[in-house]
Amino acid sequence: HVQLVESGGGSVQAGGSLRPSCAASGYISRSYCMGWFREAPGKEREGVAGLDPYDGVTAYADSVKGRFTISKDGDKNILYLQMNSLKPEDTATYYCAAGHTAVVAGFPPNPGDYAYWGQGTQVTVS
């Protein structure tokens, strides 16, 4: 059973930075990929960034490329999302997820491919 707990969201002015983190516990298979997703009020959940910890492949949504960076501390099993140059349209609840799937460069993660989810952390950009 996999447990994911996000933290590190918050409120920031446009142009600022945040770095949410996601602590993973339980059985984390080497075949699991991990990702960050977001859901804004009235919108569908969308993939923001994905990471294959085994080979280091990453993928990003076009809207965050060059501004967000996904990374993982393997020793501590913590997933990060460094968010720079934040915009008001980045305001959403951010979720981390894990699943037995693949990450393909150029294709943001699909929420339907991920089985395990955290509770979310709110990011507000004004």
pLDDT for position 29: 76
Burial letters 109-126, b for 16+ CB under 10 A, else e: bebebbebbbebbebebe
Question: 77 and 29 in contact (C-beta within 8 Å)?
Answer: no
Asked whether residue 124 carries a pLDDT value surpassing 80, the answer given is yes
Asked whether residue 125 carries a pLDDT value surpassing 80, the answer given is yes
CA 57 to chain centroid: 14
Q: How far apart are CA 94 and CA 7, in angstroms?
A: 10
Q: What is the pLDDT of residues 57-103, one digit of tens each?
A: 999 999 999 999 999 987 788 999 999 999 999 999 999 999 999 99
Q: What is the pLDDT confidence band of residue 21, given thresholds at 50, 70 and 90?
A: very high
Give the three-class secondary structure for 111: helix
Q: What is the pLDDT confidence band of residue 49, given thresholds at 50, 70 and 90?
A: very high
Q: How far apart are CA 36 and CA 96, in angstroms?
A: 4
Phi-psi region of 73 (alpha: psi -120 to 50; beta: other; left: phi over 0): beta
Q: What is the pLDDT of residues 72-84, one digit of tens each?
A: 987 788 999 999 9
